[in-house]
Amino acid sequence: MDNVTHSLFALTLARTPLSRAGRGTTAALLVASNAPDVDFVALVGGSANYLKWHRGPTHGPLGVIGLGLLSAGLVWAGRRLYDARLATAPRAQLEDENASFRMLAAAGVIGAFLHVLMDLPTSYGTRILSPFDWHWFAVDLMPIVDIYLLAALIAGFGFGRRSVAARQRNASIVLTLMAANYGVRAVSHAQALAMVPRLFGPTLAGPCDPEPADPAGPLDIWPRTQATTPTAGTRCLVDVAAMPSFTSPFRWQVVLRLSNAYELRDVDLLDAQWRQPQDDLEAPWRTSLRYPNVWTPTVQRAAATDLGRVFLGFSRFPAARSALDAQGVTTVRWTDVRFAGGGFALEQRRPGPDIFTATVRISPDGQILQQRLGR
């Protein structure tokens, strides 16, 4: 989630009975709710270094506890400095109103934990077990910025300032609306996945493993072993996912991960075409987007580079392409299909930094000529 949402959620929590813990609780919740994103300092080492540490240990169990305690310590120290400069109230009276360090620590850990818990249901995902396990986890219910969640939080924070009871009542309403939003998205997500056979029709490939050991659960985990085409000219289905949209909880982008490509199709569950028989002339699989994912020996060589390992450790759906120029230099490029947008071409360029595409250039004798993020 974005930091505005994290901050507003912390302020909403501060309007619940947590506020009874004493002065400083709101500040501890607010600081701790944003503290895990301190990993942005890794940008000092460059974009690749940021990608390596992004949503890493600061979003793991040690980070939650450590940053929660650090947030409590900062608030506690700042409050003492502030109180020491006040001359209008007796010191004893201020101490009675202040939250204890133990309560600030509890609020800090709760704030950091809920930050990670709100990141988990996004399609971007987070590494909730790092540094013990560097896999990414996601539930695919929410976009990075959810306008409905933001609207509920802003409305709840903007009203009910007159009394403690009104603020607590509004906080309860906002938390109920948030739970309803997550619930609607969970049901809608399941329906989008159930649409897969109809969306792709006769073009839907059979599974690569006809007898999977365990059925796919709601929690997606990556990186996974890169699947390659088992037999020349054939393809099979590796994985399927439904990505949320920014505009509606009923609009999804369904992603098929095949052994040699990705296929994407948008679906709007409120569209009448999904509630009535489909005309063969408007078969949805005719408009699917296809992104090649061809793993040659040169692509495997590029994957072993420092940048290749970092990017493939981050990317959930890395689509690989390669091109050979007149000098025999091979350009290998991966793009995370989650962020590919409407086009996927080696020539396409976008302004600004791009951490969702990685490029490696390899000489005819196998030497690495260039590694960089971006197009």
Name the nearest CA neighbour of 156 among 145, 146, 167: 167
35 close to 71: Cβ distance less than 8 angstroms? yes
Please list, in sequence order, all residues whose beta carbon lies within 8 angstroms of the beta carbon of residue 334, skipping any fewer than 6 positions away. Answer: 308, 311, 312, 315, 318, 319, 320, 321, 357, 358
230 close to 259: Cβ distance less than 8 angstroms? yes
pLDDT tier at 367 (50, 70, 90 boundaries)? very high
30 close to 23: Cβ distance less than 8 angstroms? no
47 close to 305: Cβ distance less than 8 angstroms? no
336 close to 264: Cβ distance less than 8 angstroms? no
Q: How far apart are CA 110 and CA 116, in angstroms?
A: 10
pLDDT tier at 352 (50, 70, 90 boundaries)? very low
User: So what's the pLDDT on residue 54?
Assistant: 94
User: So what's the pLDDT on residue 346?
Assistant: 34
Residue 19 confidence (pLDDT) above 80: no
Full-model pTM? 0.88
Name the DSSP letter for residue 310. H
85: tokens are 């400069």
User: So what's the pLDDT on residue 59?
Assistant: 97
Least confident of 37-46, 82-91, 258-267, 306-315: 82-91
Residue 273 confidence (pLDDT) above 90: no
Q: How far apart are CA 27 and CA 19, in angstroms?
A: 11
User: So what's the pLDDT on residue 345?
Assistant: 35
Please list, in sequence order, all residues whose beta carbon lies within 8 angstroms of the beta carbon of residue 98, skipping any fewer than 6 positions away. Answer: 22, 23, 24, 79, 83
Q: How far apart are CA 78 and CA 116, in angstroms?
A: 25
113-135: average pLDDT = 95
Residue 275 confidence (pLDDT) above 60: no
Name the DSSP letter for residue 216. -
- pLDDT tens digit string along 228-257? 444 445 788 988 999 999 999 999 999 999
Least confident of 80-89, 191-200, 279-288, 320-329: 279-288
192-215: average pLDDT = 78
Residue 349 confidence (pLDDT) above 70: no
pLDDT tier at 55 (50, 70, 90 boundaries)? very high
User: So what's the pLDDT on residue 160?
Assistant: 61
Q: Strands, E, within 187-346: which ranges?
A: 220-222, 237-244, 251-258, 261-268, 289-292, 318-324, 330-336
283 close to 300: Cβ distance less than 8 angstroms? no
Q: What are phi and psi of 231, to 5 degrees?
A: -140, 135
User: So what's the pLDDT on residue 328?
Assistant: 92
User: So what's the pLDDT on residue 133?
Assistant: 95
- pLDDT tens digit string along 321-332? 999 999 999 999
